[in-house]
Amino acid sequence: MTSPHVLPRSAPRRRPIAFATLAALLFIVPAASGCSRNSSSEAPASASDPVIARENLISYLADIIMVTQAADKKNLGDNPDFKRRLAFLRNKLLMGYELQREAKTALTDEALHQTYDEAVRSMAGQEEVHARHILVEDENEAKSLLEQLKSGADFAALAKEKSKDPGAAEGGDLGYFTKDQMVPEFADVAFKMYPGQLSNPVKTQFGWHVIKVEDRRTKQPPEFDKVKDQIEAYLARKAQTDFITKLRQSAKVERLDKAAEQKN
């Protein structure tokens, strides 16, 4: 079964955040570029060829050296604008190294397992329901479908034919979900049902639903190894954020632009 759809794509799906996934600091490196040769006797150069890629990189680095030497002869390094940019890039690079060091220091085995254990405890006893649904425009159509289902019609086949939900191709299968992953009107009904039960038509902002509960279970936490990368990303970003917050609390920042505005 593919990843489950939760109501139409327009429906807001709220997921419990057990492990925060925060974007890591990115270092942007200019892509290597170069001139590839192409003649009637040679095949076009392929960037996927490691030999060609190495040649292009060497060409790019050689261009940097040659252009830099030409700029040095013109004393462009003494240009005030260049010096300002150089100082900014130096500070940015140092910031990156420092934040990288803070992140590395935080990623201990003890910290990783402690974060995992805390997240698992927060999930303890959380119930999941596995359900299917058929989504239609009006109540009368939903009632008609319910009668067909009660008369023995196959739920998955009817969902494929009638449901306007993106998950219709999968027979209306929503997979397993927790209560806070669905809109309240839908979740309140689904979590009161038993496996095999059909609901009366349920109205949400997306239309009218007929729900069939397939199974109920207590949510099982993921294995540590399967979420280790997420935990590392979370702890790394948290360490960096905490470090910056601490510096802000102790630093005195003077805004020269604000001082100029006050004088005026």
How confident is the model at residue 38, as a pLDDT? 41
Tell me the β-bridge partners of 207: 204
In a 13 Å sphere around the CA of 205, the CA atoms on its Cβ side amount to 7
Residue the block writes with tokens 């601490």: 246
Cα separation, 159 vs 153, whole angstroms = 10
Residues across the chain: 264
How confident is the model at residue 263, as a pLDDT? 62
Cα separation, 195 vs 143, whole angstroms = 20
Instruction: Kindly list the distances between the CA atom of residue 75 and the CA atoms of 41, 79, 230, in Å, as whole numbers in the listed order.
Output: 44, 8, 48
How confident is the model at residue 264, as a pLDDT? 59
DSSP SS3 for 11: coil
How confident is the model at residue 32, as a pLDDT? 32
Closest CA to 99 of 89, 91, 108: 91
How confident is the model at residue 46, as a pLDDT? 57
**Residues 142/136, Cβ–Cβ less than 8 Å:** yes
How confident is the model at residue 181, as a pLDDT? 93
How confident is the model at residue 125, as a pLDDT? 81
Read off the DSSP letter of residue 32.
P
How confident is the model at residue 261, as a pLDDT? 64
Instruction: Kindly list the distances between the CA atom of residue 81 and the CA atoms of 77, 78, 146, 213, in Å, as whole numbers in the listed order.
Output: 9, 9, 73, 67
How confident is the model at residue 228, as a pLDDT? 96
What are the 10-residue block averages of pLDDT along the chain, 264 residues in total? 39 35 28 36 57 89 95 95 96 96 96 94 88 97 97 97 94 94 96 97 97 94 93 96 93 73 62
